[in-house]
Amino acid sequence: METLHIITSSYRISPLFLLLLVAGFIGIVTFLFLLRSRNTPGVKFWLIWQIAASVWAFTYAFEFAANDLETKILWSKFSYFGIVYCSVSFFFFSLTFSSRYQLLQKKYIVLLYALATLFILSPFTNDFHHLHWKSYSIDPLTNATDYNYGPLFWLFLVFSYTTLLTGIIHIFLFFFRLSHFYRSQILVLLFASLLPLFGNIIYVFQINPVPGFDWTPFSFLLTGVLIAFSISQFRMFELVPFARTKLIDMIPDAILIVDNFHRIADLNPAMRKLIDSDEKEIIGRKVDEVFPAREMLIDEIRKNDDFQTEIMREREGVKHYYDLQALALFDQKKHQTGRLIVLRDISHHVETEEKIRETNIRLMDEIQEKEKLIVDLDAFSHTVAHDLKNMLGAIVTASSLIKSGIDDMPKEDILEINELINQSATKTMHITRELLTLASVRQQDVKLAGVNMKRIVKEALKRLDDMIKESGAKISVPDVWPEVLGYDAWLEEVWINYISNALKYGGRPPLIEIGSEILPGRKVKFWIRDNGKGLSQEEMSLLFIKFTRLETLKVEGNGLGLSIVKRIVEKLDGEVGVESKNIPGEGCTFYFVLPMTNS
C-alpha cells in the first residue's frame, strides 16, 4: 500500500507531518493539564519542557513538510527555540524529583538556561561561519533534510546529552532509594525519560527505520504523556519525592527506613548526623552492620509491628536520650514493605524530669525537716517550757525576797539567794544556747574540712570546768587523735553534751574515759564511757529522739542535748549511738562516727 501524500506548492502533507502536529497539540494539552500543579516543586521545569517540546514538534513538522530547502532551513532554525530548552528543563526536573536541591540554586538555573539560549544563535548565524551546519540538502526520496554537521552542532549535542543523561542517572539512582511501593511509579518515569535519548540517537547516527525523520520531539512529548499518566494513575507528585523533602529532610527527628530484607533504604540528614557516616556508605547495608551494638534492640523491632522504647547514647562524654518508635510500612495491597524508625531527642525532657525529681526530693526533705521541727517544738513545749518556767520563777521569787528583806536579811541569806538566781540564770542561758545551736544546725550548710579533735575536746572541757570540779570527776583523754572531716563549732557542742551527760549520769565520783578507734571504710568512731548504772535496751531506744529525758535517772535536764547531737552528726555525714550492758558501775558508752580526711 502506498503512503498518501498531499502536495501543495510549498508543503507536502504526509502522515508523519500530521503525527507531529498531533504530538504538538498533545503537548499543549499536557501543558494546560500541568498548570493546575504549577505550585508543586519541579512542575515549573516540566511546563517549560512540555511547551518547548511542542514548539519543536510544530516547527519540525513544517520543516519536514516543506518542499524547498530555504523554507526547511528557516523552520529548522526556529525549532531550536524548543530544542535547546528540552534537555535542560528535564535535567532540573530530575533534580527536583530526586531531592537534590544543592544544585537547584538560582545562579545555576540562570547559568544553564543562559548557556542553552546562546546555542540558539548558532543556527541563525550559520551563514556567516558554517560551524553549525557545513552543508545541507533535500533527500528526494523522503523530502527530509540531510545535514552535514559542524563542530558547534556537536558541541550542542554534547551539552544536550550531558544534561539529559545526568537527569536520567538521577532518576535511576533515586529508583533504588525508594521502597517497592514507589518503584512502580518511578519505573514509568525512568522508561519515559529514556525515549528522547533513543529517538535522538537513531536520528543523528542515521539508524532510523524512517530515513531522515527525527523522532526526538515526538519522543519528548510521549515522555510528557507517560508522566501525565503517572500523575492520574499514581498521583505521583503527592507522594514521596516532594513530601519526603518537606517532611522528612526538614524535621529534626532522625528517620530511618528499612526494607523487608533489613537493609537501610533511606534516611534523613538528622539520622546521618547520628550515625556520623556518609549516606552512600549506609544505604543498602544491613541494619546489623550499621548498628552492631544494638542487636537486641533490632531483634525487638523485628518482632513487633509497632514498637516504642527509650534509648541512651553517649557522645563526646555527653549522654543523649531518645524516644524510639518503629512502625511497619504497608503498600496499597496491605503487604508489608519495611519499617519506619523515628528517633526523637528527649534529652531536654529527661533533664527536666531529673531536675523535677531532684526538686521533689529536696522538697520532701524540707517537708520532713519541717515535720521534725514541728515534732521538736511540740516536744520542747512539753519538756523544756516547764524547766524554763521553774528557773525563771526561781529568779523572780529570789529577787522578790531580796527586795522585801534586804534591810533585815543576813548577808549569808542574801548570798544564798543570789547563788540560786545565778544557777537558774545559767541553766536558762544553757537551754537558750542549745536552742540556738539546734536552729543553726537546721538552717546552716557548712563545708566539711579537717578538724583538730584534740583542741575541740580541750575547749569543751574548759567550758565545763566548774561542773567537773563540782562533781570531782576524773577524765582520761588520749594525746593522739585521728583527723576527720567536720565543723569545729558544731563538734564542740557534741562533746559538751556528751561530757555533761557523763558528769550528770555517771557514778559518784564520775570516772570518764574518752577515746577513738578507726573503723573499716575510712571512718572514725569517737566515744565517751562513764561509770554510771547503765541503760536498758528500751531506754537506749528512746535516746536521741523527741528531746527524751529518762525520768528514771532523776537528774535535772531538758533532754535537748542528745537531739542536737544527732542533728549535728547527721549533718556532718556521720551517725550516733549508745552502748550499755545495763550493769551498774559499767555505765554507758556514747559515740559518734565521722569520715576520715583524705590525707
Q: Which residue has the higher pLDDT, 420 or 522?
A: 522
Q: Which of 562, 506, 496 is nearest to 532 (CA)?
A: 506
What is the tally of structural domains in the chain?
A: 4
- Which CATH number covers residue 403? 1.10.287
Among 223, 242, 261, identify where a domain stops.
242
Count of H helices and E strands in the chain?
20, 16
- Which CATH number covers residue 310? 3.30.450.20
Q: What is the pLDDT of residue 545?
A: 62
How large is the average pLDDT for residues 74-87?
88
410 occurs within a structural domain: yes
- Which of 159-173, 219-233, 363-377, 495-509 tops mean pLDDT? 495-509
325 occurs within a structural domain: yes
Q: What is the pLDDT of residue 150?
A: 93
Same domain, 311 and 368: no
Same domain, 371 and 457: no
Q: What is the pLDDT of residue 99?
A: 65
Q: Is 262 strand, coil or helix? A: coil
pLDDT band of residue 2 (cuts 50, 70, 90) is very low
Looking at the predicted structure, is the pLDDT value of residue 282 above 60?
yes
Q: Is 556 strand, coil or helix? A: coil
Q: Are 323 and 312 in contact (CB under 8 A)?
A: no
Same domain, 27 and 137: yes
Residue % of the chain over a pLDDT of 70: 73
> Which three cell numbers, joined as nine digits, stand for 305?
509491628
Among 209, 242, 275, identify where a domain stops.
242
Average pLDDT, the chain: 78
Same domain, 386 and 291: no
Q: Are 556 and 423 in contact (CB under 8 A)?
A: no
How large is the average pLDDT for residues 506-520?
91
Q: Are 200 and 159 in contact (CB under 8 A)?
A: no
350 occurs within a structural domain: no
Beta bridge partners of 588: 580
Helical packing angle, 151-177 and 180-204, nearest 10°: 170
Type of residue at 398? A
1 occurs within a structural domain: no
- Which CATH number covers residue 47? 1.20.1070.10
How large is the average pLDDT for residues 504-528?
92
How large is the average pLDDT for residues 526-531?
94
Handedness of CA 197, 202, 206, 211 (dihedral sign): negative
Residue-level length of the chain: 599
The per-residue pLDDT for range 151-185, each reduced to its tens digit, is: 999 998 899 889 888 887 877 777 666 555 456 66
Q: What is the pLDDT of residue 177?
A: 62
Among 182, 209, 242, identify where a domain stops.
242
The rounded distance, in Å, linking the Cα atoms of 306 and 425 is: 78
479 occurs within a structural domain: yes
190 occurs within a structural domain: yes
Looking at the predicted structure, is the pLDDT value of residue 553 above 50?
no
Same domain, 413 and 267: no
Type of residue at 389? K
Same domain, 36 and 138: yes
Beta bridge partners of 484: 451, 596
Looking at the predicted structure, is the pLDDT value of residue 254 above 90?
no
Same domain, 208 and 338: no
Same domain, 151 and 267: no
Q: Is 336 strand, coil or helix? A: strand
Cell numbers 525515549 label which residue? 195
176 occurs within a structural domain: yes
The per-residue pLDDT for range 401-420, each reduced to its tens digit, is: 777 766 677 777 777 777 77
The per-residue pLDDT for range 24-40, each reduced to its tens digit, is: 787 787 778 777 767 66
Q: What is the pLDDT of residue 556?
A: 42
Same domain, 514 and 485: yes
Same domain, 315 and 408: no
Q: Are 174 and 239 in contact (CB under 8 A)?
A: no
| R_g of the chain, CA atoms, integer Å | 50
118 occurs within a structural domain: yes
Looking at the predicted structure, is the pLDDT value of residue 550 above 60?
no
Q: Full-prediction pTM beyond 0.85?
A: no
Range with lowest mean pLDDT among 120-124, 235-239, 246-250: 235-239
Helical packing angle, 69-97 and 216-234, nearest 10°: 30
Q: Domain range spanning residue 116? A: 6-242
Same domain, 164 and 299: no
Looking at the predicted structure, is the pLDDT value of residue 20 above 80?
no
The rounded distance, in Å, linking the Cα atoms of 284 and 291 is: 14
Same domain, 363 and 338: no
Q: What is the pLDDT of residue 107?
A: 87
